[in-house]
Amino acid sequence: MDLENQKRVKDFAEQYGPENVVVLLGAAEGEASGLAAETVTAGDPTYAGPLTGVSLGLTVYHVCEPEVKEEFDAAVYDEQVSMMEMVLDVDDIINEMKSIREQFCKYL
Amino acid sequence: MKAVIKGAGYILVHVPDMVLRNGTTQTTERIVNPDSEYLKELPKHLRSFEEVCSYWPNQVYIGNKTPDDLAALEADKVRGWADLKCDVTDRYGKFGQIMPQQQFLLLMQACDVFDLLKLDAGFVDKYKAEFAENPLITEDITARIPETQTEIAEIERLVKEEHSEGLYMNDVLVGCIKRAHDIDVNLSAHVMHENIVSKASSVLSILAAVKSTGIDKNEVEYIIDCCEEACGDMNQRGGGNFAKAAAEIAGLDNASGSDTRGFCAGPAHAIVEAAALVASGTYKTVMVTAGGCTAKLGMNAKNHVEKDLPALEDCLGGFAVVLTADNGIDPVINLNMVGRHTVGTGAAPQNVIGSLVAAPLEKNGLKITDIDKYSPEMQNPDITKPAGAGDVPLANYKMIAALAVKNGELQRADLATFPAKHGLVGWAPTQGHIPSGVPYIGFAKDDILAGKIKNAMIIGKGSLFLGRMTNLFDGVSFVIEANDGNNQAEGGVSEAEVKGLIAKAMKDFAAALMEQAE
């Protein structure tokens, strides 16, 4: 995850309390989603950014996961996300995200 | 009047020492984690010049192989094309060349007009002859290399005591770039290095385009640079003008010019502007050029090292495209079919692809499937896949296909075959603006002239949010299509036709006078 984004996530977690923050991802692949999810839960796996060694344990979802999809107005989702749903390997993303959440999320 | 694609030049510069010393992944690692295993491992993953020349995507980039040749290869699922040796290993191609580092350091010195770049006298003696023999290097450029060079002891002192940026060959110091100001960070040795590299690789691109198109240098009236660097000083940090600076060295004496910026979308913006300048009749011949970027060298090398791959981002990329007034033959840029990502478009991929692909086609009564080939972000997947960024061109084709399905222009069952039919495999180095649609322009011209395809859409996209000025995304697209031969600049209204029109007007006038008299 971009170092500046890591900093912003860290700042938001401090400002609002980690239990009140949900990180919503839009990455195009399972692996990239998993890396970003790991960064905001267990810490930066690349040891490069401000979240290195910082386990925020934030709640994190990908926008294509069913839990998130059902929160949306169906028309907005159709307009903004449905094309990408057709393109992405959604099952792979869901598996990656679930695995990271089960291991590292502290506020589920 | 219409603007046509006269042709393009494409160059690569193999700079392994700059990967180690100037790529931001490495410079960042050196600050954050100076003793890291990665920094120790990376040098073992650098390729030789011969390996770079025998790498398939590089041979496609300079035009010795085609995108179709590349697509026909059986790539390894993990290592891609990395272990396949191309049967053509020539450093020179029909679009340009792959320049080795030692020649490029000399070209950089030829491009430095402020006596900032110092080279070791022994290094220059060793390589000056081979530099002069490079077919793109003119005598004027060779003459810019100073007769008297610098002793290595002085170069060492400049690096140690004067904040100069070292220039290395096989990890040995052979030169340096001095800072251009004691205080101004915009003229620091680091920035000057980045900018001279960009300028020099742009010069090489211009020379490659002049050669591949066969134009006279004096025909070029305007040049637009669309790289992603900024040159200026503390009072005007992005003042410019890379375009004119490079044109001077390349010998385009009749050209003026300016810079256009838009992150990776810069080239597509610049080509639309250039086409409009030609179509309006403002200039007859306009060139668009961009040099390479040192910061992005080895950008994904951590992943490459981790997966025991070569550090594939070891080349600077450059390109130049020549646009001229309609000659009735070369493919045309259709300015009625320009895709625009506007401020109000939004950042959702659906909106982005809609604005860049579907909207301009719809306006012209065309469907997504009416475009034979799309050239969006043409990053080489060998580089991006191991880094977790996937196959970028393929992702784009899937999105375009999905939009076609949504719009009822493509059957869902045809989603899987769309990329091979309307797409290309990526072969461009991940130099930001370099892969952004433009690498196909040279081939598109050839494929259209050969009747292989009738049209192609070039799509540039840019991540404006990286500059922290806006969260907006950006993009622009345009269509290149076969010339119908009906609207030549010279032949549109010929001298004889003008005389005929005047004669007719005179006759009508005379007849009207006679009528009045009667």
Q: What is the pLDDT of residue B493?
A: 52
Helix (H, G, I), strand (E, B) or coil at B128: helix
- Shortest CA distance from A2: residue in chain B: B466
Contact check, Cβ <8 Å, A83/B350: yes
Number of other residues whose CB lies within 10 A of the CB of residue B469: 8
Chain B from 372 to 431: CB within 8 A of any A CB: 388-390, 395, 398-399, 402-403, 405-406, 415
pLDDT digits (tens, 9 = 90+) for B15-60: 999 999 999 999 999 999 999 999 999 999 999 999 999 999 999 9
Confidence of residue B307 (pLDDT cuts 50, 70, 90): very high
Confidence of residue B489 (pLDDT cuts 50, 70, 90): low
Q: Is the pLDDT of residue B234 over 60?
A: yes
pLDDT digits (tens, 9 = 90+) for B261-306: 999 999 999 999 999 999 999 999 999 999 999 999 999 999 999 9
Q: Are B288 and B222 in contact (CB under 8 A)?
A: no
DSSP B331: P
d(CA B314, CA B430): 10
Contact check, Cβ <8 Å, B390/A35: no
pLDDT average, residue stretch B347-366? 95
Confidence of residue B486 (pLDDT cuts 50, 70, 90): confident
Contact check, Cβ <8 Å, A29/B33: no
Contact check, Cβ <8 Å, A32/B349: no
Helix ranges (H only) for B62-182 are 67-72, 101-111, 121-133, 139-142, 152-161
Between the alpha carbon of residue B160 and those of residues B12, B164, B166, the distances in Å are 31, 7, 9
DSSP B45: G
Q: What is the pLDDT of residue A16?
A: 98
- From A59's Cα to the closest Cα of chain B, the distance in A is 22
Q: Are B456 and B440 in contact (CB under 8 A)?
A: yes
Chain A residues near residue B353 by CB distance under 8 angstroms: 83
Confidence of residue B424 (pLDDT cuts 50, 70, 90): very high
Q: Is the pLDDT of residue B374 over 70?
A: yes
Contact check, Cβ <8 Å, A81/B350: yes
Kindly list the residues of chain A whose beta carbon comes within 8 Å of any beta carbon in chain B.
Answer: 4, 28-29, 31-32, 35, 46-48, 79-84, 86-87
Helix ranges (H only) for B385-460 are 392-406, 418-422, 441-449
Of A28, A31, A80, the CB nearest to B350: A80
Q: What is the pLDDT of residue B518?
A: 62
Domains and CATH numbers, chain B: 3-481 (3.40.47.10)
Q: What is the pLDDT of residue B388?
A: 82
Say yes or no: B79 contacts chain A, CB-CB below 8 A.
no
Confidence of residue B238 (pLDDT cuts 50, 70, 90): very high
- From B445's Cα to the closest Cα of chain A, the distance in A is 30
Chain A residues near residue B385 by CB distance under 8 angstroms: none
Strand partners, B92: B97
pLDDT digits (tens, 9 = 90+) for B70-122: 999 999 988 999 999 999 999 999 999 999 999 999 999 999 999 999 999 99
d(CA A56, CA A53): 9
Whole-number average pLDDT of chain B: 95
pLDDT average, residue stretch B370-385? 97
Q: What is the pLDDT of residue B389?
A: 85
d(CA B324, CA B340): 23
Q: What is the pLDDT of residue B212?
A: 98
- Closest residue by Cα to residue B140 from B214, B235, B248: B248
Q: Is the pLDDT of residue B336 over 90?
A: yes
| pLDDT by residue, tens only, chain A of 108 residues | 888 899 999 999 999 999 999 999 998 889 889 999 999 999 999 888 999 999 999 999 999 999 999 999 999 999 899 999 999 999 999 999 999 999 999 998
**Domain coordinates in residue numbering, chain A:** 3-104
